[in-house]
Structures are given as structure tokens and as C-alpha cells.
Amino acid sequence: MVHKRAEAIHEVPRERPKAPETDSSRDERKHNAAPGRVSERQETFTTVSGVPIERLYTAENLGDFDYARELADPGQFPFTRGIHRTMYRGKFWTMRQFSGFGTPEDTNRRLHYLLAQGQTGLSIAFDLPTLMGYDADHSLAEGEVGKCGVAVSSLADMETLLAGLPLETVTTSMTINSPAVMIWAMYLVVAERQGARWEKISGTIQNDILKEYIAQKEYIFPPKPSMRLVVDSIQFAAREVPRWNPISISGYHIREAGSTAVQELAFTLRDGIEYVEWVREAGMAVDDFAPRLSFFFNSHNDLFEEVAKFRAARKVWAHVMRERFGARDPRSWLCRFHTQTAGCSLAAQQPYNNVVRTAIQALAAVLGGTQSLHTNSLDEAWALPSEAAATLALRTQQVIAHESGVASTADPLAGSYFVERLTLDTERACLDYFEKIDALGGMVAAIEKGFPQREIHEAAYAYQLAVERKEKIIVGVNEYAAAEPAPLDILVIDEAAAQRQKEKLDGLKRKRDGRRAEETLEALASAAAGNTNLMPYILNCVRAYATLGEMCDVLRKVFGTYEEPAFH
């Protein structure tokens, strides 16, 4: 891999240099920037991420701000104001509630329910054994089957999960990373058997392994073979499933792990750069795959900081694609993204307050121009959402869409001195991180050195201490606390789910053509030892009802597994 240092891709206006001090400017500053202590609630004001905020923003803060260069109209480079000319006047964002628990039957029922409630896209959560590439009957799956999401060990489970869902018309997002290629192959085979054409179906697999090493830590194989699987799926999508998003480059988990807004943005977009470099290295032209790269961000409580982050994301990515990679197709320049409200911001105490937090976060995502949105449920600091809580979360989006009026015009906060300054500062800070990571040799190298992991841990610890010192107030937690029992009916996962899944797996292994399954697995093993695209081999395994665990075991043998080194 050749990593070149980022050229200074574009200039970000800094605040105007201060004029020589005169008596009147001194007076003005006294008035403006150094108010009497008594008149303000606290000495310094900062965002959730700790960025200092001034008392007042004026034209002075924007210096030589050029509309065409910094913003441009929605749908115009650099897309700061949004990727579409009409934004939500054309169509609302996709309301996509992440859902999955218990057996495939349980989750299938919830998916049908959500569509009936007006949800416009599906989003499937898998349980931890599935995320880690273990079948439901593996010893490490004990206690975990169906707990954090739905259990899927084979094509048979996927057939049940998707029963009755029209795959040519509904778009499905699947949160799956290390074994993304296997789960995607299962989805494609179900589509094939439904008669849904691959060139028509649309959806997303998360498939973002870099943020697993950085934040969520659900990795199986070492970084390099993992990157090969990502490259294989991007290439396969471009050839065979052209409307599919083969990756959703995710900041969500980075933020949940405790990063600042800037770190979330910078590490995510730098991961994006890494993927583009690797796919290009594998011989694809940038415009042949870049239009299908998609992103996934978190939306936390600090409304303006979040809006600035979303706007900066589009602008930075547009410049990266056009200048760093020379992309010519305007669709390659677009940072299209899904947003989820911040799970880590939700409190176990006084859980109804979470509805308010989620509404503010969802509003930020919409004001920031997201393409799709998941709103968290009020009970998520306790368990997976109950049906009632999930419905209220969806209703929150519907109220913002239909009642608040914010969807009637594109980028309504543009031109605010504060929002534009924050957007410029976020962009600048993001580019500074790019320089550091480029200097470390790129993101895979930075991860191997523990750089993003350490940065996030420092930010998480600083935030925790700020909360404990009450420098940051969390309503109902460190202030306005009240002794109260949890008033919620939470979702309890039926412990029998695990047993049912084991029995199904047993039955499957007896019923299937065992020799055929074995042959396809052997073919996968020899292909993995070479450097051919593995998708066709995995599809064959899936069609022969080889299980997820069997496929992952084959690759564990060939690729090895990854253990995170201890970073200090």
C-alpha cells in the first residue's frame, strides 16, 4: 500500500487576524469577550465534545467567507448545504428503525409490524454470535443467542427472517461487519429464490471493519484479510448488485465509544479514504465504486455541534473525492449518510427524559441533512426496545417530518454566524487529524499503533470526569435526580430462543446434502488461500446450506484471528 501524505486539499478560512489594538477595540473586546464574571452562569461554555463556545458570533467570526466556496446551493459542490437540490421537499429521509431480537420468526414479525406503522426501510440487528461468526450451537454463544439481535446461522434462518418481505421494493440495511459477506450472500440467495433480480434490489451492509478495530471491537480476522473481504464485496456489488451499498462507513460506534464529534468525523472519513485507496489498489477506477460508498453518523445532544459536523462531513468528503482521488463523477463526491441518535446519551434514570433527548438529536440529524434516520427508544439503557417504545421512537421522526416545519426548506441554519463558524472549525480539525493519520502511514497502520483507540479513550475518560465533577449536567442523573423504580415494561428475550435455534441447526445439518456443503467449504478454503474474489465461493456455500460458523471457521484457519494488543 502506498500512502502519500495528504496535500493541503483546500483552504479553510480562519478567523480574521486581529487588528492592532486601539482604545475603542479594547473597549469593544471588554464588552464582547470578557464580560463581568457575575453576569454569566459559568466561566467557560463548551459543546458536549468540549469545544469552547463564545458568547456571541458575528460577521467577524467568518472573515472572508465566500458563499460559493464554503457552501454553495444544495446539490452543488461542495454540498455543505445538502446533496439534493430539493432536500426534504423532494422526499423525506428514510425512517429506518434498527430491529432484531430472538429467533428469525420473532424479528420477522417485528419487521412486518414496523412496515405497517409507516416505516419506510428495514434495518436488521444480528445477535453477537452471528456478528462474531459463530453458530447458535457454539459454546461461546451460550447465553448470547438472540440477545442483542436476531440469531442467523444459515440460509434457512435468513429465509425465515425475510419471509413475506418484497425484496425488490423494500430496502434493507444489515448491521453486520466481520462476516458481512456471508450474511449478504444469504440475503442475495433469498432474493434470487424470491425471483427478485440482483440488479433491482437495494440495501446496505455495514461491512466497515476498520471501525471495529477502532471502537466496537467485533472483529474476527486480522486487518489485512478483513480488508480483502471488504474490497471483494465492493467489487462484487459494482458488477452484480449495482444498487446495493456494499459498505456503510461508520462513525456511530466511534462516538458511542466516547469520541468527540470531531474524532467521529475525522476517523470515519479517514476510514473512507483508506477503503478508497485499497479498492483502487485492487484495480478499480474510483468512479466505478465511489458513488455506492455510504456513511453512518451518530447524533448526540449538542444540536449545533451535530449540525456543523454533518455539514462539514459533506464538504470534506466532496473535496477528498475530487482533489485527493480525482473522482470525476459528481455522484462520487457525495457523502450520503444514515444517522442514529446517540445510544450512549440515554440514561437509565428517569427514562422518559430519553424521548426528549432523542427528539433533539433527531432534529439535529434532519437539520444536518441526513438521508435516513434511526431514533432510539426510551428504554435502551435497560434492554432492547419494547414494541411500544420502538413505536414512540418512530413517531418522533414522523412528528419532526410532518409537524415541525423544518423539512420545508433545505439547510435552514445556513448563514448563522455560529453554525458557519462551527462548520469551518469542525472541518479544520478534521483535516488536522487526516494529517496525523497520513503521517502514521494511513488508517490500518494508525490502528495497529493504537492511535485512534487512545484518542477515543482519552476523550471518553475526560467526559466521564466532567460529568462526575458536574461540569456537564445530565438531567435525572447527576442533577434533578429522584429515587424512583424503573416504570418500564422492558423486552425480555425468551431463553427458549437459543434452544429452538440449536434444534433448527441440528435439523438442518441432518437434512442438507452434507457432501455438497463440504465441497463448497473446501472450495472456499482454497480460494481464500489465493487472491481471487471470494463472493462467488461464499454464495455457493450459502446455497448448499453451509452455516455461518462453518464458513467463518474455514476463513479463521486460512486468515488467522485477531487479538487486540494492549495499548497504554
Task: Report the nearest approach of another protein to the CB of residue 454 (Å).
Answer: 11
Q: In what order do the strands lie in the sheet with 203-205?
A: 98-99, 122-125, 172-175, 203-205, 244-245
In the set 147, 309, 322, 421, which binds another protein (CB under 8 A)?
147
Kindly indicate which of the ranges 199-207, 234-242, 344-352, 396-404 contains the residues binding another protein, using the contact rule CB under 8 A.
344-352
Cβ distance to another protein smaller for residue 391 or 478: 478
Cβ distance to another protein smaller for residue 37 or 568: 568
Question: How far lies 113's CA from each of 106, 163, 170, 376, 536, in Å?
Answer: 11, 13, 14, 17, 34
Task: Report the nearest approach of another protein to the CB of residue 464 (Å).
Answer: 5
In the set 163, 348, 388, 525, which binds another protein (CB under 8 A)?
348
Rounded distance between C-alpha atoms, residue 294 and residue 486, angstroms = 38
Number of neighbours of residue 495 by Cβ within 10 angstroms: 11
Q: Is 563 exposed, middle or buried (CB count within 10 Å of its CB: 0-12, 13-18, 19+)?
A: exposed
In the set 57, 382, 417, 418, which binds another protein (CB under 8 A)?
382
Per rule CB under 8 A, is residue 388 in the interface with another protein?
no
Rounded distance between C-alpha atoms, residue 277 and residue 269, angstroms = 12
Per rule CB under 8 A, is residue 384 in the interface with another protein?
yes
Residue partners of 204: CB distance under 8 A and separation at least 6: 171, 172, 173, 174, 244, 245, 248, 294, 338
Task: Report the nearest approach of another protein to the CB of residue 51 (Å).
Answer: 21
Cβ distance to another protein smaller for residue 351 or 369: 351
Residue partners of 83: CB distance under 8 A and separation at least 6: 74, 75, 314, 334, 335, 336, 369, 371
Residue partners of 229: CB distance under 8 A and separation at least 6: 180, 181, 209, 221, 534
Kindly indicate which of the ranges 8-16, 225-233, 304-312, 558-566 contains the residues binding another protein, using the contact rule CB under 8 A.
558-566
Task: Report the nearest approach of another protein to the CB of residue 311 (Å).
Answer: 27
Cβ distance to another protein smaller for residue 474 or 525: 474
Per rule CB under 8 A, is residue 460 in the interface with another protein?
yes
The answer to whether 383 touches 96, Cβ cutoff 8 Å, is no
Cβ distance to another protein smaller for residue 57 or 382: 382
Q: Is 567 exposed, middle or buried (CB count within 10 Å of its CB: 0-12, 13-18, 19+)?
A: exposed
Count residues contacting another protein (CB under 8 A)? 44
Task: Report the nearest approach of another protein to the CB of residue 426 (Å).
Answer: 23
Q: Which of 116, 140, 115 is nearest to 128 (CA)?
A: 140
Per rule CB under 8 A, is residue 552 in the interface with another protein?
no
Cβ-count burial 283-301 (b if 16+ within 10 Å, e if not): ebebbbbbbbbbbbbbbbb
Task: Report the nearest approach of another protein to the CB of residue 253 (Å).
Answer: 9
Cβ distance to another protein smaller for residue 130 or 371: 130
What mask of x and - would describe binding to another protein in positions 80 to 109, judged by CB under 8 A? ------------------------------
What mask of x and - would describe binding to another protein in positions 115 to 134, judged by CB under 8 A? -------------xx-xx-x
The DSSP string of 475-496 is: BTTTBS--------------TH
The DSSP string of 292-308 is: GEEEEEEE-S-HHHHHH
Rounded distance between C-alpha atoms, residue 390 and residue 378, angstroms = 8
Kindly indicate which of the ranges 64-72, 228-236, 341-349, 367-375 contains the residues binding another protein, using the contact rule CB under 8 A.
341-349
Task: Report the nearest approach of another protein to the CB of residue 478 (Å).
Answer: 8
Distance linking the first and last C-alpha atoms of the chain: 27
Residue partners of 90: CB distance under 8 A and separation at least 6: 84
Kindly indicate which of the ranges 29-37, 321-329, 403-411, 486-494 contains the residues binding another protein, using the contact rule CB under 8 A.
486-494
Length of the chain: 568
Question: How far lies 100's CA from each of 115, 230, 448, in Å?
Answer: 14, 24, 32
In the set 17, 36, 195, 485, which binds another protein (CB under 8 A)?
485
Rounded distance between C-alpha atoms, residue 215 and residue 217, angstroms = 6
Kindly indicate which of the ranges 241-249, 370-378, 418-426, 463-471 contains the residues binding another protein, using the contact rule CB under 8 A.
463-471
What mask of x and - would describe binding to another protein in positions 294 to 333, judged by CB under 8 A? ----------------------------------------
Per rule CB under 8 A, is residue 148 in the interface with another protein?
yes
Rounded distance between C-alpha atoms, residue 222 and residue 562, angstroms = 5
DSSP β-bridge partners for residue 299: 341
Kindly indicate which of the ranges 153-161, 294-302, 419-427, 472-480 contains the residues binding another protein, using the contact rule CB under 8 A.
472-480
Rounded distance between C-alpha atoms, residue 91 and residue 171, angstroms = 15
Residue 428 grid cell: 479544520
In the set 486, 494, 503, 506, which binds another protein (CB under 8 A)?
486
In the set 9, 72, 165, 490, which binds another protein (CB under 8 A)?
490
Per rule CB under 8 A, is residue 113 in the interface with another protein?
no
In the set 135, 137, 212, 427, which binds another protein (CB under 8 A)?
212
What mask of x and - would describe binding to another protein in positions 502 to 531, judged by CB under 8 A? ------------------------------
What mask of x and - would describe binding to another protein in positions 233 to 272, judged by CB under 8 A? -----------------------xxx--------------
User: Does the bond joining 78 to the residue before it have cis omega, within 30 degrees of 0?
Assistant: yes
The answer to whether 79 touches 315, Cβ cutoff 8 Å, is yes
Per rule CB under 8 A, is residue 549 in the interface with another protein?
no
Q: Which of 314, 451, 438, 447 is nearest to 6 (CA)?
A: 438
Q: Which residues bind another protein (CB under 8 A)?
A: 128-129, 131-132, 134, 140-144, 147-148, 212, 216-219, 256-258, 344, 347-349, 381-384, 457, 460-461, 464, 467-468, 474, 477-478, 485-486, 490, 493, 563-564, 566
